[in-house]
Structure 1
Amino acid sequence: MKELAGKCTGCCKDLYCRDGFFEGEIDEGTAFCFPCSNQLRSDFTEEEIGLFIARLNKNPAQHTGYCGTEEMEVTDTLLNDFSDLSFKNSFAVLKEDGKIIAALGADWDMEAASGELWGPFSLKDGEEWQEDAGRLWRFLKHKINHNGTWHGFYNEQNQQAINWISLQGAVHKSKEVILRVIPEEIKPGKQMEVEEFTAPYTEKFKSLHTSAFPAGYFSSDEILRRQNNHNRLFVVQENQRLAGYVYVEASPAHGEGSIEFITVNPNFRGQGVGEALLKRAAAFLFQEMNVKEISICVNAGNEAAIHLYKKVGFSEKHRLSFYKL
């Protein structure tokens, strides 16, 4: 006797009970067919995922936002700075002959109840890519098992991922531009005194940061706490007022630096403050931290900022679409 018992959470195929025997497995109250159950329990390491993502993320048609393109960098992030949940519960993979053929992860933030999606990545194309993505998505939601929001940054050439996340009901929030510069591309320009942040600037900095970035991913207090030998905050003061600041982070082990936040007080714009801050940030990152490349991300609609960055020597590397689900 054969009776329909439900559907597999992974592949959505029908599951049956045959002569009283359930042709599937139950994982934490959720039903899976045997093949999906085996995939769900696949073993994998940070090193395996790091190699797989780095290889695919070099291709603009597979590129996902901020995952990285170098194996060592991606693996280091997965080992040391990824997700508030366990690594195994923050990634879902598909394997064939013991090798990863598709992966999807989420850098889950428990406090914010949100996850930044890493992927989907798959060696397949077209409908098969979408099938893998759907299966991984259902696996990942089952593993994370927390309510919240999801977001992803996808290269504009990664149409497979953009189509996939749109089908999940995600809303397109913005377009971002990633610009990068190497030491020899920095152009000479206007000089201005730029100081390292000190405690007397605290309240002025907090006020300017909150005004410029009311929904920034780091609050002013978080930036102040993150300061160390590699992460620095620089300011320009004019007439006892804070004219602007730049906050940078360096990863010397990976040869990379980033300008996380930069803003100029509206009363001091057009006076070379932004250019001076960028030059000081570049000098710190290139000369003191010995990084090989600096990146900065800006909203695609902020043409004035993009013009400034290009004036200093930055060039456009990627355009990303930001989606929220």
Structure 2
Amino acid sequence: MRQVKAGTLERVPAMARLISELNSDSAHHVGYCGTEEEEIEHSIQEEFGEYELDHYVTLLYEQEQLIGLLLLDADEEEGQAELWGPFIIKGDWGEWQTAADQLWAASLAKLSPSIQKIAGFYHIHNHHAFAWMETKQAVKQGQHTILKLEELSGQQLVIDQIDNQKLKIVDIGEIMSSSSELPIPAELDAILSSFYSLHNECFPSTYYDSGVILSRLAEDNRLFICLYANELAGYVYLEGSREFREGQIEYIAVRPDRRGHRIGLYLLHHALQHLFGSIKVKEVSLCVNNNNPAAISLYHKAGFHTASELQYISLHR
């Protein structure tokens, strides 16, 4: 007999084991949940408190064995949620769909009415998820490529000047920290204003807006801005984990009128030097929309390899 239960802190280790097992197989892989059990457990504990576990995590048991789960990483203010799952150990399509429908019905029953958009990222080989999402009238959106780099490749020619003017890298977090009790200097205020504009232009509907990026700055989360003639030419935002020895390049962008001068490569090189050199990561990953082949080419030239391809799917309640 099957039984639906809510997530609890005590059940997180079992959840992490199941996600790790399934996410290691491309036929069951879901989005950005990871494959390492310890890291998945850490992510769940970071993202979901007791309230969120009870309201946004649904588990399915069969004879006291956990056979499936569905997590909704919800943002009630934004009115949207990201699907983590369904993760189901049943391989037969009919059984898989039945279990997924049970999880879905139970999840929607306790989901806040403010959540109207639900989206998910699925490996292109996760055919069960695609077929199931179609039954929910979900729509395929853009496709994304996940790239990874395990070590810095050999020395590359990185241009650090344009028209005999030296490029300069500014660590925004360091500057803001050192002047936290002082008014923001006019120069920094102008740089931040340019950063806001460029980020909104390049990533208009993204998961971190410019304000969130600034709020997340810490020892291992860095925003490096490239200056040319004392004006913003581009930026890169990265996040690192010393505990798990991994890093992510979340955003990198160059001002339209400064493109074509290898500034993107200069920013990427600086970010990688920081991640591999200062944080001592073993792996760096990033995500690129497949509509941006120039960026994918840039990362391949820097030594990145394609790890997986994900399809973005969304639906409205």
Q: TM-score, normalised on structure 2?
A: 0.86
Partner of 1:230: 220
**Paired residue for 1:205, among 195, 207, 211?**
195
Flag the 1:179–1:281 CA change in 2: closer, same or farther, 3 A. same
- In 2, Cα distance between the equivalents of 1:69 and 1:124? 19
> Does 1:308 pair with 2:273?
no
Flag the 1:319–1:84 CA change in 2: closer, same or farther, 3 A. farther
- In 1, Cα distance between the equivalents of 2:273 and 2:266? 11
- What residue identity is the alignment partner of 2:171? E
8 Å CA contact 2:223–2:237 kept in 1: the answer is yes
> Does 1:127 pair with 2:117?
no
> Does 1:196 pair with 2:171?
yes
- What residue identity is the alignment partner of 1:220? S
- What residue identity is the alignment partner of 2:310? L
**Paired residue for 1:67, among 33, 55, 68?**
33
Partner of 1:139: 106
**What secondary structure sits across from 1:89 in the alignment?**
helix
8 Å CA contact 2:4–2:103 kept in 1: the answer is no
- What residue identity is the alignment partner of 1:137? W
Flag the 1:294–1:186 CA change in 2: closer, same or farther, 3 A. farther
> How far 1:280 moved relative to its partner?
0.6
Find the structure with the greater CA-based Rg.
1
Partner of 1:271: 261
Partner of 2:131: 163
Query: How many residues align structurally?
Result: 290
Partner of 1:12: none
Gaps of 5+ in 1: 1-34
Deviations 1:289-310 (A, max 9, x none): 1111111111111100000011
- In 2, Cα distance between the equivalents of 1:61 and 1:130? 15
Partner of 1:293: 283
- In 2, Cα distance between the equivalents of 1:236 and 1:129? 49
> How far 1:83 moved relative to its partner?
7.0
Deviations 1:180-208 (A, max 9, x none): 10124465231424332346121121121
Deviations 1:47-88 (A, max 9, x none): 110111011101000000011111111101111223794213
- In 2, Cα distance between the equivalents of 1:188 and 1:84? 48
- In 2, Cα distance between the equivalents of 1:256 and 1:318? 17
> How far 1:219 moved relative to its partner?
1.4
Partner of 2:208: 218
Partner of 2:80: 114
Flag the 1:143–1:185 CA change in 2: closer, same or farther, 3 A. farther
8 Å CA contact 2:34–2:40 kept in 1: the answer is yes
- In 1, Cα distance between the equivalents of 2:31 and 2:6? 27
Partner of 2:55: 89
Gaps of 5+ in 2: 161-166, 176-183
**What secondary structure sits across from 1:78 in the alignment?**
helix
> How far 1:89 moved relative to its partner?
2.3
> Does 1:154 pair with 2:122?
yes
Partner of 2:42: 76
Please provide the CA RMSD for this pair. Answer: 1.9
8 Å CA contact 2:5–2:61 kept in 1: the answer is no
Deviations 1:144-165 (A, max 9, x none): 2434211000000001101111
Partner of 1:24: none
8 Å CA contact 1:102–1:123 kept in 2: the answer is yes
8 Å CA contact 1:187–1:312 kept in 2: the answer is no
Flag the 1:212–1:141 CA change in 2: closer, same or farther, 3 A. same
Identify the range of structure 1 (43-52 vs 117-126) with the bigger mean alpha-carbon deviation. 43-52
Flag the 1:184–1:138 CA change in 2: closer, same or farther, 3 A. same
8 Å CA contact 2:152–2:272 kept in 1: the answer is no
- In 2, Cα distance between the equivalents of 1:158 and 1:307? 26
- In 2, Cα distance between the equivalents of 1:53 and 1:129? 15
Partner of 1:39: 4
Q: TM-score, normalised on structure 1?
A: 0.84
Partner of 2:164: none
**What secondary structure sits across from 1:67 in the alignment?**
coil
